[in-house]
Amino acid sequence: MKQHKTWRVEVVYATPSRQELIEVPARPGATVEQVIQESGILNSFPEIDLSRQHVGIYGQIASLPDLVHDGDRVEIYRPLSADPKEIRKRRVKPRMGRKK
Place 18 in a pLDDT band, splitting at 50, 70 and 90: very high
pLDDT greater than 90 at residue 99: no
pLDDT greater than 60 at residue 96: no
Encode the chain in three state secondary structure: CCCCCCEEEEEEEECCCCEEEEEEEECCCCEHHHHHHHHCHHHHCCCCCCCCCCEEECCEEECCCCECCCCCEEEECCCCCCCHHHHHHHHHHHHHCCCC
pLDDT, average across residues 68-85: 85
Least reliable range by pLDDT among 7-11, 41-45, 90-94: 90-94
pTM of this structure: 0.77
Query: pLDDT value at position 79?
Result: 82
For 7-96, which CATH class? alpha beta
